[in-house]
Structure 1
Amino acid sequence: MVSLFCFSSLIQLPNIVSWYLLLVLSLASLQVVLGSRHLHHHHHHQYDGNGGVTLAPSQSPSPSPSASPSPSPSSSPSPLLTPVNYTRGHHHTWEWPSGYRHITVDIGGDGDYVSVQAAVDSVPDNNMVNAIIHIRPGLYIEKVQVPATKPYITFEGAGREVTVIEWHDRACDPGPDGEQLRTYRTASVTVLANHFTARNITFKNTAPGPLPGMEGWQAVAFRISGDKASFFGCGFYGHQDTLCDDAGRHYFKDCYIQGSIDFIFGNARSMYKDCEIHSTATRFGSIAAQFRTSRDEKTGFAFVNCRVTGSGPIYVGRAMSNYSRIVYSYTYFDDIVAHGGWDNWDHQTGQNKTAFFGVYKCWGPGAAAVKGTSWATELDFDTAHPFLAKSFVNGRHWILHSHA
């Protein structure tokens, strides 16, 4: 009835206007019909994490206190995701933190807190706010831990030369329980939470470096065991085991990492981009020790456009487990690389057959030695490509584009 009335009323109007109004009425009627059917179709997907069990190098292997097999799909997406991510045929929805909380740490007492740990403690468990902890210039001599229950925390320093957190524990030192700390509990800063970010700050372990033959001198400056962690313009200083890159997906950009023996180690899936890797080794040293235990694990260390400087001789990588995976691309090497370039962890039989050590377009006076063993693979673009982009750590979904 309505359609007939409208048609008779419009018959006197110019043809173009009449057809336009009839089209509008038809679309409105169609919307009513479809709406009455209450059709809803949604697909919800989550990205999975990727971690693993890590062992302390250069000592009798023992599992990390917090290490675990590869976790189930994460339920805590990154704050850097857009609220809704659309793809053809699917509707992806993500939870993310709402709003920001700014906390100031000032060692002189002019902030909200005088210690970094006090600021961390002020963040509630199951946090769903971007908690930015601004750490003003100063030397903060304290051990800090960010527990797994406090995601979405950022340490924002005033510059890695002026904002420093340091401690001095070694693996052989006794802990509060009277037992030796061992490697993992020596960290000056430990982060167990997901979605951690650090910018423009330095982390140090000031314990002295070991002399040849000394055991129990591992001294970690920073341990990261949470997923989707990123570091921009940070410094990591130590000797043996400086950076415990334990588990999860991590991204390091424009960072400075210094040490002598296995000073980047663990079983994370991490990319180091535009970083300086500085060796302080005297008689012998090594940069990276990676603990991938199966060819099915996606873990590994990818170094892209980095600089390897300092003293040596050093190995650029060691097979901490059978399927260790380390790749250097577009990286400069000082003339400090040991003959052969790589080590299969104290020459254990067979590990060189399954470990994956890759090199792509590296340069500098030490680059030839990096390619100097038959079980280091010189990659072409197709085989190197997976280790060149932030997609290696699924970074498209959680790394801020302006920092990538």
Structure 2
Amino acid sequence: MATQSSYFPKIIFFVFTLCCFISNSNARLLSEKLTWKRLLTVDQSGGGKFKTIQDAIDAVPSNNVDVTLILVMPGTYKEKVTVPEDKPFIILSGRDVLNTTITWDDSGDIYTSPTLSVFASDFMARYLTIENTYGPGAKAVALRVSSERAEFYACRITSYQDTLLDEGGSHFYSNCYIEGGTDFICGNAASLFQKCHIHSISKENGAITAQRRSKPEEDTGFYFVDCRVTGIKSYTLGRPWGPYSRVVFVNSYMSSEVNSQGWDDWGKPSTHSSVYYGESKCYGQGANRSKRVEWSQSLTNQEAHTILSKTMIRAKLKIKA
């Protein structure tokens, strides 16, 4: 594994969060001029060396230290894809999110059903649709992220139940579209969602988030900044998978379909004193807090700043510039 001196930090999440929150700047989060040492092309038509994404990932050496760009040409790739722990520094990139799709239809278990599973650190994905087409009725994960450091740019992530298993580690999602009906952003990672569109297809009061923080000392949580939250029918912002569940929405649009109470305790009233559910400077008809549950927080600018700065992601993606 390369040392930190071999790579200088490309992204410091804490800085970006403060930029978004304090100055609302449009700071560049990802250089368009990424440098890589290895380029692998996946093309179903035979124009590349590989016809499947998994074959390209398998070709990356174990204990990889070189930034590897896997360029996925347009097409629908019906395969389950795994990025193993011993293959860090991979950039998985399509060219057009609307016509470059990784798809599968497995269900039943959040750990075995994912279409794409990421275990390697310093992983990046962009311009890809990642979907699980199973539909309602069972757990059916589209994307599982258990990487220490991972970033997703302009991706579409869709399923119904448990769409995004944001399991553990420090993650960043920028300008992504995430869709589901029940607990569709779940897990115990420390993740920042910036300028993402979160869309509920629940028919009645399905929760967007199920954050799993289980101990008060854990620096985990889901933070939504400058996002757009919509739904086809009534939905809630979250419910506690873990007793210290933590979710914060800052400066985000909320459509009228948000349940007026906002948050659900999942039938666990004992969590009212331990969960941390906060909203700050949100807008839209669904952001009206007059009927919110009393155990959620209406945050001032300073309170939101303090929460973010105390608990924000400290990991750095080490992509060589």
TM (normalized to structure 2)?
0.87
Matched residue, 1:385: 305
Q: Which amino acid aligns with 1:165?
A: I
Is residue 2:287 matched to residue 1:367? yes
Highest RCO, 1 vs 2 (Cα 8 Å, sep ≥ 6): 2
Give the deviation of 1:80 after TM superposition. Answer: 6.0
| Greater per-residue strand proportion | 2
Kindly provide the amino acid, as one letter, of the partner of residue 124 in structure 2. T
Counterparts of 1:331 and 1:283, CA distance in 2: 22
The alpha carbon displacement at 1:383 in A equals 1.6
The separation in 1 between residues aligned to 2:5 and 2:80, in whole angstroms, is 26
Equivalent pairs, count: 296
Matched, 1:349 2:269: yes
Change (3 A) 1:113 1:227: same
Residue in structure 2 matched with residue 21 of structure 1 by the alignment: none
Residue matched to 2:44:
107
2:43 equivalent to 1:116? no
8 Å CA contact retained: 1:225, 1:246: yes
Q: Secondary structure at the match of 1:123?
A: coil
Tell me, in whole angstroms, the C-alpha distance in 1 between the residues paired with 2:220 and 2:311.
13
AA partner of residue 163 (structure 1)? T
1:393 is paired with a residue whose SS is coil
Q: Which residue of 2 aligns with 1:394?
A: 314
Name the residue aligned to 1:157: 94
One-letter code aligned to 2:236 = Y
CA distance in 2 between counterparts of 1:156 and 1:342 reads 35
Aligned to 2:16: none
Question: Whole-Å Cα distance in 2 between the matches of residues 99 and 139 of structure 1?
Answer: 25
2:60 is the alignment partner of 1:133: no
**Where do residues 72-221 of structure 1 align in structure 2 (5 Å cutoff)?**
77=4, 81=8, 100-171=37-108, 182-210=109-137, 217-221=138-142
- Distance in 2 between residues matched to 1:77 and 1:367, nearest whole Å: 42
Alpha-carbon deviation of 1:183?
Answer: 1.7
- When residues 82 and 394 of structure 1 are mapped into structure 2, their CA distance, relative to the original with a 3 A threshold, is closer
RMSD, aligned α-carbons: 2.4
Corresponding residue number in structure 2 for 1:327: 248
268-277 vs 379-388, greater mean Cα deviation: 379-388
- The CA distance in 2 between the partners of 1:161 and 1:377, in whole Å, is 37
Conserved in 1, the CA contact under 8 Å of 2:9 and 2:318? no
Task: Please state how far the C-alpha of 1:344 moved relative to its aligned partner.
Answer: 1.4
Tell me how far apart the structure 1 counterparts of residues 223 and 135 of structure 2 sit (CA, whole Å): 29
Query: How far off is 1:339 after superposition?
Result: 3.1
Given candidates 360, 369, 376, the residue that maps to 2:296 is 376
Matched, 1:229 2:166: no
* Higher radius of gyration, 1 or 2: 1
The alignment's TM-score, normalised by the length of structure 1, stands at 0.69
SS at match of 1:185: coil
- How far did 1:285 drift? 1.0
> Does residue 1:250 correspond to 2:171, yes or no?
yes
SS at match of 2:56: helix
Q: In structure 2, what residue type is equivalent to 1:187?
A: P
Gaps of 5+ in 2: 11-34
The alpha-carbon deviation at position 319 of structure 1 amounts to: 1.0
**Helix, strand or coil at the partner of 1:134:** strand
Q: Aligned residue for 1:38?
A: none
Cα distance between partner residues in 2 of 1:199 and 1:257: 14
Paired with 2:183 and 2:8, the residues of 1 have a C-alpha distance of 34
Aligned AA (1:384): A
- Deviation, 1:394, is 2.1
Q: Measure, in 2, the Cα distance between the counterparts of 1:370 and 1:280.
A: 25
**Cα pair distance change 1:357/1:147, threshold 3 Å:** same
Distance in 1 (CA, whole Å) between partners of 2:311 and 2:96 is 28
Amino-acid identity (%): 38
What letter is aligned with 1:349?
Answer: P
Kindly tell me: are residues 338 and 190 of structure 1, through their superposed partners in 2, closer, same or farther at Cα, counting changes over 3 Å? same
Q: What is the CA distance between 1:158 and its match in structure 2?
A: 1.0
Contact residue 239 and residue 259 of structure 1 kept, 8 A: yes
Cα 1:354–1:190 change in 2 (3 A) is: same
> Does the CA-based 8 Å contact 2:36-2:69 persist in structure 1?
no
Deviation at 1:228, TM superposition (A): 1.1
The aligned counterpart of 1:241 is: 162
Per the alignment, residue 232 of structure 2 pairs with 311
Pair 82,235 (structure 1): closer, same or farther in 2 beyond 3 Å: closer
Q: Distance in 2 between matches of 1:390 and 1:201?
A: 32
**Alpha-carbon separation, structure 1, partners of 2:54 and 2:306:** 38
Residues 1:300 and 2:237 are matched in the alignment: no
AA partner of residue 393 (structure 1): I
Q: Aligned equivalents of 2:211 and 2:165: distance in 1?
A: 10
Contact 2:89 2:121 in 1 (8 A): yes
Q: Distance in 2 between matches of 1:239 and 1:78?
A: 42
Counterpart code for 1:134: L
Separation in 2, partners of 1:286, 1:370: 20
**Alpha-carbon distance, 1:78 to partner:** 9.8
Distance 1:230 1:165 in 2: 17
Unaligned runs of 5+ in 1: 1-73, 84-97, 172-181, 211-216
Report the alpha carbon displacement of residue 371 of structure 1 after superposing the two structures with TM: 6.5
